[in-house]
Chains A and B, each alone.
Chain A
Amino acid sequence: MATPTLPSENPAVLQGDSSAGAVVFDNVALAFEENVVLDGVSFHLPRGETKALFGVAGSGKSTILKLTLGLLKPDSGRIFLLGEEVTRMSEQELFDLRRRVGIVFQESALFDSLKVRENVAFRLMEEHLSEEVIEERVREVLRFVELERTYDMFPSELSGGMRRRVAIARAIITQPEVLLYDSPTGGLDPVTSNTIVELIVKQRDVYKTSALLVTHRLQDAFTMATHQFDKNSNQMIKLPKGQRSEVPMSFVLLRDGKIIFDGDARELAASRDPYIREYIS
C-alpha cells in the first residue's frame, strides 16, 4: 500500500504555508453525537489535480466536501481551501471564498422554482452582470454540457442525468479554481455516466481545475486516470500505458472515518491490502 504524505508531515503546511495546495485537510475529526464520521483525516490536493474519494456508504466522503466548503465545521483539525483556513473563518467570510469554488451535489440541488437559465446564471445574477453577458455565458456553458436546448426549462422537466449536467454547468460558469463533485454519476445509466466523466475530464484537462470527486464507481475514476481530453477532436482519448502517470489524478480510500489509502491508480492497483483488494475487485 502506498503511504500517503500527511499534511502535518508536509513541510509547507508545518511552516504555515497554506498555499501548498488547493485543499488541505490536517488531522480533521468530526462526530455526530456518538457516530464518529471522520477520525484524524489528513490529505493534500495539489492545484490542478483531481482526487477521487472512495469508501462504503456512510464513510464520510460527502462530509469531506461539505467540510471543505465550510458548510459543516469539524470538531478538531484544520482545513485549508485555496490557502485560506476554512476552520477559522466566519460564515460571512466564507461566502466570498465559496464564490471561487464550484460544487455539484449528489441530487443536483437545483433551485426547483427557477428555470435552467436562472439556475446556471445564479452566481452571475448575484454579481449583477448585464443581461447580455449573462445570456452569452449561460449559453456557452450549457453548450459545454450539451444542454443548450434546456435553456428555458424547469429542473422538474429534466431527466436525472440532465439535471446533473445542469448542476455541473452551474458549478463551472464562473470558472472556479476548485470543483467538488458529490457522486456525479450515481444512479445514472452507463452512457450518461460516461458523458459526465468526459465533462469532468474536460474540465480537468482544458481548464486545469483542481477537483475532489466523491464516487462509488471505481470504473469512472479509473477512466479518468487513464484518459485525457483532446481539444482537437473534442473528445476523451485513452492514453497508452506509459503516459498514464502524467494524468493529474489520485485516489483516497476511506474506512471507518480514516484514510487507508492515498496514491495514484498504479499504486492502488498494486496494493496488497486485503480490504483494498476486495474493494477494487
Chain B
Amino acid sequence: MARTKGNQFPSHSFSRRLNSMLRVDARRMFATPLFWVCLGVSFAIPILVLVMTGMVGGAADGLMFTNTWQIIESSGGGMMAAMGGALSGGDAAAAEAEMDMTGMMNINLMYFLIGVFLCLFTAEDFRSGYAKNLFTVRARKTDYVASKTIIGVIAGALFLLAFFLGGVFGGSVAGLSFDLGDAGIRGLVMCMLAKIFLSAVFVSIFLLMSVFAKGRSWMSICLSLFGGMLLFMMIPMLTPLNSGVGNVGMCLVGGAIFAAAIGAVSNAVLKKTSLVG
C-alpha cells in the first residue's frame, strides 16, 4: 500500500465511509453472542408457544392456536379488541375473550426483541469507546445513523425469518393446520416482506432512544419499549396475512420515510450531545 504522506487528504465519500462502517457493524453483529442468542430466542419462541399452548389449552376456551399461520398473521388483535372494547364501553367479557394467545403471542413480539438487541448493541458502542474512535476519525454522525439503521433492519429481518421458521417447525410438531385460506403463499410472502420493511420504523425509533441514552442500555431499552408500544397496534393492520403489493409498498415507503425523519433527529442528538463521558 502506498502510504499517504504529508498534506494529502484523499477523498472519503459517503458511500465509501458507509461501506466501511457497515462491514464493521456486520462483522460485529455476527461475532457477538447477543445476536445468536436473539436469533435462537426468535426461533424457539414460536415452537414453545405452539407446542405448549397445544398441550395446556383447549380449542373451546380460545387459548389455543388452531392454525400455524395464526402466529404469523397476528390479526386476532387481542390487544386492539380489548382496547377497542374498553374505549367504546362495550361488553368487557367480549373484549376479554379476544385477549387470546393468538393476539398476544405472535411474530410482532420480534419488534421488541429487535429493540432490545439494537439498544444493547448500540450501548456497547458508547461503553467501549468504539463510538469515540469512530467519530474522531472520518465518520460523520449521519454515517453512524445510516449504518446502524441498516444493520438493525437486517437483524430484524433475520429475527422475523427465524420466528417464521420456528413457527413452521412448531406448527408441524404441534400438528397444526397449514391452511393459508384466501391469503395463499403470495399473501404470506407479502406479509413477511411488509413486516420486514415495517421494522425500519421501529429500528429508527429504537436507534433514536439508543443514541439519546448512549451507554445506558437500561434507559434505551425502557424508552424503546415505551416508544415501540405506541406504534405496536398498527402492525396487524398494516401487515395482515393476505397482504398485497399495496401493504408492502406502504411499509417500504413508510419505513423509509420514518427512518429518514427519525434518523435526522438521531443525527441531531449525536451532534448536539457529548460523545464521551
Q: Are the chains A and B members of one assembly? A: no
Chain B residues proximal to chain A, CB less than 8 Å: none
